[in-house]
């Protein structure tokens, strides 16, 4: 690791928080600590990764993941636990967690987890930002413009789209032009790329 990584540690136990922070500080890692998820969300960090202690009975991994995504962006998240169960690990992974580690562990093991999340998180964050931007653009389209975009992506001609939608080819042309303009696309191919990125087109 040749640059300082950032990690946000969420744990209600102050002694455990301190131990985790000490282990991470021994590497080139900057640590921010939080007593609970509400405190993390209130600060809305925009960089780094998140380590969340999951042994609290009220911890629900999918709900936590959704809350972090909504309020703190697409930061990579890992959970840690004294006794991680297979069921909780599966639930967390299905919700998008990057890792689920057992703690106590060696400082090197914990630092390795943070380093992996940083590498994976940088790329995933870029992908998620592109998807979010694409979804925002597609949401600005009218239903007709979305229908036209899907038809274009499926290789339909203006006449075929018109027949399917029950409108004239000229109206399709107008919707097509408006769709490209609303998406701020450089071309039809670019509009299709945005449609795929947004999830509108599969």
pLDDT-derived band of residue 191, with 50, 70 and 90 as boundaries? very high
Predicted structure pTM score: 0.58
27, exposed or middle or buried, with CB in 10 Å at 0-12, 13-18, 19+?
middle
pLDDT-derived band of residue 2, with 50, 70 and 90 as boundaries? very low
pLDDT of 1 strictly over 50: no
What tokens were used for 13?
């136990």
DSSP string covering 50-72: EEEE--STT--HHHHHHHHHHHH
- Which pLDDT tens digit goes with each residue over 11-60? 999 999 999 888 888 777 889 999 988 888 888 787 888 888 887 655 67
Give me the pLDDT at residue 97, please: 85
DSSP SS3 for 31: strand
**Cα 107 from chain centroid (whole Å):** 27
Top-level class of domain 5-126: alpha beta
Instruction: For residue 110, give the nearest of 24, 46, 201, 202 by alpha carbon.
Output: 24
| Opening angle at CA 41, ends 36 and 45, nearest 5 | 115
Going from N- to C-terminal start, the domains of the chain cover 5-126, 140-198
77, exposed or middle or buried, with CB in 10 Å at 0-12, 13-18, 19+?
buried
- Which pLDDT tens digit goes with each residue over 137-184? 999 999 999 999 999 999 999 999 999 999 999 999 999 999 999 999
- Does the 140-198 domain belong in CATH 1.10.10.10? yes
H/E stretch holding 91? helix 86-94
- Which pLDDT tens digit goes with each residue over 86-139? 888 888 888 888 888 888 888 888 888 888 887 776 666 677 788 889 999 999
């Amino acid at each position: 690791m040749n640059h300082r990584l950032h990690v946000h540690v969420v744990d209600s136990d102050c002694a455990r928080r301190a131990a985790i922070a000490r282990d991470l500080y021994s590497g080139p890692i900057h640590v921010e600590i939080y007593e609970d998820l509400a405190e993390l969300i209130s600060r809305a960090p925009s960089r780094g990764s998140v380590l969340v202690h999951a042994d609290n009975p009220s911890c629900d991994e999918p709900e936590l993941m959704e809350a972090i995504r909504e309020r703190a962006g697409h930061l990579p998240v890992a959970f840690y636990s004294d006794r991680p169960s297979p069921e909780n690990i599966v639930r967390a992974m299905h919700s998008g967690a990057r890792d689920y580690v057992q703690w106590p562990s060696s400082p090197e093991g914990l630092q390795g987890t943070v380093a992996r999340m940083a590498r994976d998180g940088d790329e995933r964050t870029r992908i998620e930002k592109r998807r979010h931007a694409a979804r925002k653009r597609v949401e600005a389209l009218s239903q007709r413009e979305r229908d036209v975009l899907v038809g274009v992506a499926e290789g339909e001609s203006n006449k075929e789209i018109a027949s399917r939608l029950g409108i004239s080819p000229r109206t399709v042309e107008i919707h097509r032009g408006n769709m490209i303009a609303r998406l701020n696309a450089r071309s039809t191919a670019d509009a299709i790329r945005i449609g795929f990125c947004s999830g509108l087109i599969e």
